[in-house]
Amino acid sequence: MKRLTPWIVGLLFLIPTGLLVYKSQVLNLSLLPQKVDDVWNFYISVKPKDAAATSVAFPIPRAGDGLKISEERIRGKGFDTLIDRNSDSAMLTWLSKEPMTKRVSYTARIDITPVIVRKIDKDYTSVYPRQIKKYLKQPVLTPEEETAIKLLEGAIFEGGEDKSLIARKAFYYVHEEIQRNVKFRTIVDALSSGKGSPLIKARLYAYLLRRKQVPARIVAMLRLPLITDSPVEKHQLTYASEVFLNNRWIAVDTNRGHFGERPDRYLVMHHHYEEVEKTIAKSKVAYTIRADRAVMNKFNKEEYRKDVLRKGSFFSFISLYRLPLPVQNIFNMILLIPLGALVLCVARNLVGIPTFGMFTPILLTMFFRETSLSFGLFFFLSVVAIGCIERYVLDKLYLLAVPRMSIILTLVIVLLMVIAFTGLAEFFGASHIGYFPIVIVTAFIERFSIMMTEDGMVNTMKTLLGTLVISILSYSLYSISMLEIVMFTNPEMLFYVMGLLVLIGKYKGYRLSEFIRFRDLIAQVKKKGTA
């Protein structure tokens, strides 16, 4: 007997671990569906400033590394539109026969993922393909600029660095030595004051690299707000850089200090700003850019389902994803019940919180889940009130047990009607109330009323509180949306729960409540011992 427990517990832990490892390592399934947050509803509207203009052009995001675009829509009645997709960027042009008086717009749904290059090797490239050569174009500098940059180069480069190191050294300088300040817009100003606008910092960076024969370009982009930021109504273009190392473009942001990383909040509008600088200058075109987060914390279950079924393994058969959607929804909810039971076991057997029976807290949790927490609590307290009616009114009538319970049942239904008439459910944000609570609640009231009679108000209220606390604790499990999806995707984790339950079941130590119960006893015995 003694040896059996560790074996069983071991098995209960090993089985799901083995399955999880097999799924992730052998079948190469991810253990969770892909999260699809950071999808943006993107919107641009433009209008040329020149009232006589018959066309207007503006860069639009182009699908590529870390950027997915769907549901593209171009608006502008009576216009011809033209999308010019060159190597990295896209320009959208609206053409009209008459002067443009109205705004035209472009919308799309955009999914951004971060692009990170972790390892940047040394680069000694000396010859570049033709299409890259334009990014080596030397800027035209004034004599003052020339002198200032030369001075700077002497200070930051030693000579003999490979191109990756040049890119890095220039990055450190521009990022750390030049403070971001939109008022300083020329290279000389920036170098003499140590302050520069994002654009001038990007320019300086590109120039420094090009002078060392490293291809570099300025990127026009939007920096989208984080989930924690307040939403931005209208977005402004800002600038970052890209440098061509080891045959690929690497993202650099000298303003926010990213080297080799483009975060998923960076939406690149155009990869070669110098090329479109004139076209989109504020003097030429009025534009409004909006981007709103579309979905948050949703998981792409459909894709995952396909993925699971494609594997054609044993797991495709036991995966809950293959079930019809309504059944899936049920399991989504009930898979957390064993976890709730785990909470209950800890609360009762390790802590020693009293509850009404074993199932009341679990059922109450499900009721909260079906309606809402606030409504659930309200309903529960109304039910307690009915329990008091039973205790103080029905008791006096000396009814037989079954008719008496039936009266309670009827009262519960009356309560449901009152709730429906007064719109209380909507008030508390509950969607609907099923048949579910009626019978449970009736049984609960009976127990409650008996306990009031036998154990008195104080004990009953303690138990009531215990029941509520545990229900709310298990209900809070449902608010961790991650937990639901984890259990749904990997239901074998129920074995873990069982393993833990066996361990709790084997616990013979004290309950926390006993520490309080026997506290006085110990104090008294000690006192006697010293006296």
Partner 1 sequence: MIFRELREFGILGINNRIGRYILRHNKRSNYPLVDDKVKTATRADAWGVPMPENYFVITNFGDLKKLPQLVTNMQSFVIKPANGSQGNGIVVVSEVLKDEKGWISFRRSSGKIMNMEEVRHHISGILSGMYSLSGLPDTAIIQQKIDMHPVFNDYCFGGIPDVRVIVHAGFPVMSMVRLPTRDSDGKANLHQGAIGAGINLKDGTTHNAVIKNHVVEKHPDTGHLLNGLVIPHWQEVLELAARCYDMVELGYLGVDIVLTPDQGPILLELNARPGLAIQIANQAGLVPRLEKIAQEGPQGLTAKERVALSQSWF
| The binder of partner 1 chosen from 109, 256, 311, 511 (CB under 8 A) | 511
Rounded Cα gap, residues 394 and 403, in angstroms: 11
Instruction: Show contacts of 16-20: CB within 8 Å, 24+ apart.
Output: 16/490, 16/492, 16/493, 16/494, 16/495, 16/496, 19/490, 19/492, 20/490, 20/492, 20/493
In which element (H, E) is residue 259 found?
A: strand 258-259
Q: Considering only the stretches 2-10, 214-222, 277-285, 447-455, report the one whose residues sit in contact with partner 1 under the rule CB under 8 A.
A: 447-455
| The binder of partner 1 chosen from 139, 352, 354, 491 (CB under 8 A) | 352
| The binder of partner 1 chosen from 236, 278, 509, 530 (CB under 8 A) | 509
Q: Considering only the stretches 254-262, 280-288, 385-393, 515-523, report the one whose residues sit in contact with partner 1 under the rule CB under 8 A.
A: 515-523
Q: How do beta strands 80-85 and 39-48 pair? A: unpaired
Helix or strand or coil: residue 179?
Answer: strand
302 binds partner 1 (CB under 8 A): no
As beta bridge partners, residue 222 has 267
In the complex with partner 1, the residue whose CB is nearer, 410 or 524, is: 524
In the complex with partner 1, the residue whose CB is nearer, 325 or 402, is: 402
- The one-letter amino acid code at 184 reads F
Count of chain residues binding partner 1 (CB under 8 A): 29
Q: How far is the CB of 454 from partner 1 (least distance, A)?
A: 5
525 binds partner 1 (CB under 8 A): yes
For residue 233, which of 244, 222, 217 has the smallest C-alpha distance? 222
531 binds partner 1 (CB under 8 A): no
| The binder of partner 1 chosen from 5, 81, 247, 524 (CB under 8 A) | 524
Residues 459-488 close enough to bind partner 1 by CB under 8 A: 459
51 binds partner 1 (CB under 8 A): no
- The one-letter amino acid code at 160 reads G
Helix H, strand E, coil C: the string for 16-76 is HHHHHHHHHHHCCCCCCCCECCCEEEEEEEEEECCCCCCEEEEEECCCECCEEEEEEEEEC
In the complex with partner 1, the residue whose CB is nearer, 234 or 508, is: 508
Q: Considering only the stretches 196-204, 262-270, 361-369, 518-526, report the one whose residues sit in contact with partner 1 under the rule CB under 8 A.
A: 518-526
In the complex with partner 1, the residue whose CB is nearer, 111 or 390, is: 390
- The one-letter amino acid code at 325 reads L
Q: Considering only the stretches 8-16, 55-63, 429-437, 510-518, report the one whose residues sit in contact with partner 1 under the rule CB under 8 A.
A: 510-518
In the complex with partner 1, the residue whose CB is nearer, 130 or 396, is: 396
Q: Are 248 and 262 in contact (CB under 8 A)?
A: no
Helix or strand or coil: residue 288?
Answer: strand
518 binds partner 1 (CB under 8 A): yes
Q: How far is the CB of 225 from partner 1 (least distance, A)?
A: 48
Residues 399-418 close enough to bind partner 1 by CB under 8 A: 399-402
Rounded Cα gap, residues 427 and 413, in angstroms: 19
Residue 529 exposed, middle or buried by CB count within 10 Å (0-12, 13-18, 19+): exposed
Instruction: Mark 381-400 with x for binding to partner 1 (rule: CB under 8 A) and - for no binding.
Output: -----------------xxx
Q: Considering only the stretches 12-20, 92-100, 203-211, 517-525, report the one whose residues sit in contact with partner 1 under the rule CB under 8 A.
A: 517-525
Q: How far is the CB of 19 from partner 1 (least distance, A)?
A: 31
In the complex with partner 1, the residue whose CB is nearer, 191 or 451, is: 451
530 binds partner 1 (CB under 8 A): no
Q: How far is the CB of 291 from partner 1 (least distance, A)?
A: 55
Helix or strand or coil: residue 93?
Answer: strand
| The binder of partner 1 chosen from 9, 132, 450, 503 (CB under 8 A) | 450
Q: Are 263 and 4 in contact (CB under 8 A)?
A: no
In the complex with partner 1, the residue whose CB is nearer, 58 or 444, is: 444
As beta bridge partners, residue 125 has none
Q: How far is the CB of 521 from partner 1 (least distance, A)?
A: 5
Q: How far is the CB of 241 from partner 1 (least distance, A)?
A: 59
In the complex with partner 1, the residue whose CB is nearer, 398 or 421, is: 398
Q: How far is the CB of 395 from partner 1 (least distance, A)?
A: 9
349 binds partner 1 (CB under 8 A): yes
528 binds partner 1 (CB under 8 A): yes
Q: How do beta strands 285-295 and 39-48 pair? A: antiparallel
Tokens 């079924």 — which residue? 309
Query: Helical H runs in 63-194?
Result: 130-133, 143-156, 163-177, 187-193
456 binds partner 1 (CB under 8 A): yes
Going through 260-372 in order, the beta strands assigned E by DSSP cover 261-262, 266-270, 285-295
**What's the farthest any 2 CA atoms get from each other in the chain?**
108
Rounded Cα gap, residues 153 and 188, in angstroms: 14
172 binds partner 1 (CB under 8 A): no
317 binds partner 1 (CB under 8 A): no
Residues 79-138 close enough to bind partner 1 by CB under 8 A: none
For CA atoms 134, 136, 138, 139, give the dihedral sign: positive
Q: Considering only the stretches 113-121, 144-152, 324-332, 505-513, report the one whose residues sit in contact with partner 1 under the rule CB under 8 A.
A: 505-513
For residue 26, which of 313, 321, 320 has the smallest C-alpha distance? 313
Residues near partner 1 (CB under 8 A) are 349, 352, 398-402, 450, 454-456, 459, 506-511, 514-515, 517-522, 524-525, 528
